[in-house]
Amino acid sequence: MSAMPQKLATTRTFAKVPEVQAWGLCQLIPDAHSDGTPSITSNHSAGDAARRPSDLLLEEPCFITGSCCFTHKRVQWVKSDKENAVDRSLHVAFDKYAFFAVTGSRETLTELIDLVRADNDNRQKHFNNSGHDRLRRLGVGHVLYDSIGYRKLTFTNFQLAHSAITNAEYELVALRPFHMLPQGKLLVKYSRDATGHVSHKLYTASAVDNTLREYPGSKSCPRFPKISFDSPRPPAARPNPFLVVLDAEIKFRRYLRQKCPPPLELPTDVMDLMRLTTELVELIFWDPVVLPNTLAAQKGVKIVRQTSTIPRGTDISYADDDAQDGTATFVDRVKKPGPGATLEERLEYGQYICSGRDLSIDSDEEDKLAELGF
């Protein structure tokens, strides 16, 4: 009698799948693999749930599509501690290729602009009367640093309850819609009613105006809807709309100066979103100025920046995710703006600091985010 043929064996283990009560799904514990070694929790996908921050639950749906899935990725809008769950393919399209950006709706951006402009006016008054700038307060439960000893401070913003933050709405701006959804690929947007019933709609890249429209994409088809954050996180753990806008402005600036190929012709309202996004970011990077006949002028105060200015024409560093080990690396290094740096130079350095969302934050970047108020 012939011996049974030897089957192929592998040392690879499968991940344990955690229970998700909200979905009515039990835990899955894989059996041992061929050599008898017990399966272990993977450090990817579902097994990553054990290392998720407490404010990002496994059952949290994709921020953009509303889909629920074990394979969602965590995305950071800029280099900070705030994260959202995003569909894995959208994560790559968003974070690596910048096929699309997410910014505030027109209403949210207008409210935030008014909020920051009022804060800047108060900073200017304080600077006039004291000769020094106060800490900006745009954070939402973020960590700041004490000016004496750089002691970490946990700080809840006095503007935390402002409607522009608590009820922020967002828009998906497709920058390269046909790269994002090639060859008729469809994007599924899920929604849930009060009873928990799930419905969905299909969206495609529309040649009508280079936006995402409900399938089949004709002019009469609605565009991709506004996005709101509906997951039950505590207020301080919700996405900070300022960080979302900072990320969008980076993508918009790089997109608009792209030469190969040049930017697509986008609808007027989409270009208006880009303009408002840029206006808000310029207000975030704004610094008080020394005005005549003020205490600041009498003291000869200057807003001092560190080290040398950025050489004009220097391209902004970006995160390169193509490393063999899967980690991101920076291409080019942008120096800190020096004394008397222009708003443009501070914006470019801010872009550099805020890039590479999946990388760890060093002390220089922490200082910059603290200076901006995050």
pLDDT single digits (tens) 231-278: 777 666 777 888 889 889 989 999 999 999 999 999 999 999 999 999
Classify the phi-psi angles of 335: left when phi > 0, otherwise alpha if psi is within -120 to 50, otherwise beta: beta
Distance CA 29, CA 184 (A): 38
Q: How confident is the model at residue 366 (pLDDT cuts 50, 70, 90)?
A: low
Tokens encoding 356 = 């590479």
Q: How many domains does the chain have?
A: 1
Domain membership of residue 285 (yes or no) is no
- Determine contact, residues 72/59, Cβ cutoff 8 Å: no
Mean pLDDT computed over 164-176 = 91
Which range has highest mean pLDDT (40-54, 73-87, 191-205, 357-371)?
191-205
Q: In percent, how much of the chain has pLDDT > 90?
A: 32
3-state secondary structure of 55: coil
Per the domain annotation, does 150 fall within a domain? no
Contact yes or no for 319/355 (Cβ under 8 A): yes
Specify which residues 121 forms β-bridges with: none
Domain assignment of residue 92, yes or no: yes
Closest by Cα among 80, 109, 74, 81 to 95: 74
Phi-psi region of 47 (alpha: psi -120 to 50; beta: other; left: phi over 0): alpha
Cα separations in angstroms, 321 against 96, 329, 364: 7, 7, 22
53 in a structural domain: yes
- For residues 326-340, one letter each, b for 16 or more C-beta atoms within 10 angstroms of the residue's C-beta and e for the rest, the string is eebeeeeebebbeee
pLDDT in tens, 49-106: 433 444 467 888 999 999 999 888 877 776 555 678 889 999 999 988 999 999 999 9
Residue from 310, 249, 279, 228 nearest 117 by CA: 279
Is the entire prediction scored with pTM above 0.95? no
CB 372 within 8 A of CB 240: no
Tell whether 111 is covered by a domain: no
What one-letter code names the amino acid at 214?
E
Q: What pLDDT, on the 0 to 100 scale, is given for residue 241? A: 87
- What pLDDT sits at residue 159? 52
Query: Does residue 134 sit within a domain?
Result: no
CA angle 211, 216, 220 (to 5 degrees): 70
Write down the H helix ranges in the chain. Answer: 88-95, 106-130, 163-166, 177-180, 241-256, 268-284, 295-298, 343-354, 363-372
Dihedral angle, C-alpha 241, 245, 247, 253, nearest 10 ° = 180
Domain that holds residue 48: 21-103+165-239
Q: How confident is the model at residue 351 (pLDDT cuts 50, 70, 90)?
A: low
Average pLDDT over residues 288-306: 72
Asked if residue 2 belongs to a domain, the reply is no
Q: Is residue 257 part of a domain?
A: no
